[in-house]
């Protein structure tokens, strides 16, 4: 019986807290404690913080809480937890985590809110049928590689990010990631190296949030050259990963 009473009390407190925080994402002060418990038992205390309190979608925050004089501690949404502890959370939208501590001396609660910055909603959904190859290639730029390397260079990171942004705004577009090599060296080895380049570019886009299902790699090795002079400037143009519409 005692247990059931406590349970309903916790439920009531939770509901009250929910009503309190509804519509307000700021940290709210604890509601007034319920009617004084028997004087013998000290009143529980509860505190909770979220670090950081503002995150981007997909990132995580760490909740840290501490209670005293509590026999039953829970966090709304996470269930029963230890009297003190930390836990990593990964909310997809702004969420308030309410810590409720019950003890013989009554109950206490505290709330921490994690504000989630959602990316700006895609502007007026673009009609993807309007994107032709030239528009696509103007928006999604190639990246270039060092000699005999398929590592993504630091100067390619911003290109990958803007390429990924465009692709994330046009989620229905499918893309061929082509890997290319300069004219030097073996035909077969360059085809394998071109595949490594295409795959490195694909993985970079996937890391930037593009679904791998939309990306298909093809190696052109040294079979297709963009520049045909035998100079380093030309070879650099030809060592690339390039993106084209997969139609």
Q: Does 9 bind other proteins (CB under 8 A)?
A: no
What is the C-alpha separation between 47 and 101, in angstroms, rounded?
9
Supply the DSSP string of the chain, one letter for each residue: -HHHHHHHHHHHHHHHHHHHHTT--S--PPPPPPSP--TTSPPPEEEEEEESSEEETT--EEEEEEEES-SEEEETTTEE--SEEEEEE--SS-EEEEEEEEETTEEEEEEEEEEEEPPPPPSS---GGG--HHHHHHHS--EE--TT--SPPHHHHHHHHHHHHHHHHSTT--EEEEEE--SSS-HHHHHHHHHHHHHHHHHHHHHTT--GGGEEEEEEETSS-S--SSSHHHHHHHSEEEEEE--
Q: Which is nearer to other proteins, 44 or 178 (CB)?
A: 178
Q: Does 157 bind other proteins (CB under 8 A)?
A: no
Q: Does 153 bind other proteins (CB under 8 A)?
A: no
Q: Does 223 bind other proteins (CB under 8 A)?
A: yes
Per CB under 8 A, the segment of 37-45, 47-55, 93-101, 148-156 that binds other proteins is: 148-156
How far is C-alpha 226 from the chain's CA centre?
36
> Among residues 71, 185, 208, 244, which is the contact residue for other proteins, using CB under 8 A?
185
> Among residues 60, 117, 149, 207, which is the contact residue for other proteins, using CB under 8 A?
149
What is the pattern of x (binds other proteins, CB under 8 A) and - over residues 25-64?
----------------------------------------
What is the C-alpha separation between 178 and 247, in angstroms, rounded?
14
Q: Does 213 bind other proteins (CB under 8 A)?
A: no
> Among residues 148, 172, 174, 229, which is the contact residue for other proteins, using CB under 8 A?
148
Q: Does 226 bind other proteins (CB under 8 A)?
A: no
Q: Does 245 bind other proteins (CB under 8 A)?
A: no
Q: How far is the CB of 182 from other proteins (least distance, A)?
A: 10
Per CB under 8 A, the segment of 31-39, 78-86, 130-138, 214-222 that binds other proteins is: 214-222
> Among residues 159, 219, 237, 238, which is the contact residue for other proteins, using CB under 8 A?
219
Q: Which is nearer to other proteins, 60 or 186 (CB)?
A: 186
> Among residues 16, 21, 192, 227, which is the contact residue for other proteins, using CB under 8 A?
192
β-sheet with 45-51: strand ranges across: 45-51, 61-68, 84-89
Q: Would you tell me which residues interact with other proteins (CB under 8 A)?
A: 147-150, 184-189, 191-193, 195-196, 199, 203, 216-219, 223, 232
């Amino acid at each position: 019986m005692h247990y059931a009473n406590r349970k309903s009390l916790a439920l009531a407190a939770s509901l009250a807290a929910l009503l309190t925080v509804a519509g307000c994402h700021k940290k709210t002060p604890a509601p007034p404690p319920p009617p004084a418990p028997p004087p013998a038992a000290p009143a529980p205390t509860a505190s909770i913080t979220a670090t950081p309190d503002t995150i981007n979608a997909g990132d995580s925050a760490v909740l840290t809480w501490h209670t005293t004089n509590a026999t039953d501690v829970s966090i709304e949404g996470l269930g029963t937890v230890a009297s003190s502890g930390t836990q990593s959370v990964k909310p997809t939208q702004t969420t308030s985590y309410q810590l409720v501590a019950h003890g013989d001396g009554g109950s206490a609660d505290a709330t921490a809110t994690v504000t989630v910055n959602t990316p700006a909603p895609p502007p007026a959904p673009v009609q993807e049928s309007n994107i032709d190859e030239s528009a696509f290639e103007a928006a999604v730029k190639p990246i270039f590689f060092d000699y005999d390397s398929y590592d993504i260079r630091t100067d390619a990171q911003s290109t990958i990010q803007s390429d990924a942004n465009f692709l994330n705004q046009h989620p229905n577009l499918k893309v061929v990631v082509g890997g290319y090599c300069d004219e030097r060296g073996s035909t077969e080895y360059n085809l394998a190296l071109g595949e490594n380049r295409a795959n490195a570019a694909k993985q970079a886009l996937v890391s930037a949030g593009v679904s791998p299902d939309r990306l298909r790699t093809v190696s052109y090795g040294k079979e297709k050259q963009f520049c045909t002079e035998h100079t380093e400037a030309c070879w650099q143009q030809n060592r690339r990963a390039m993106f084209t519409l997969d139609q």
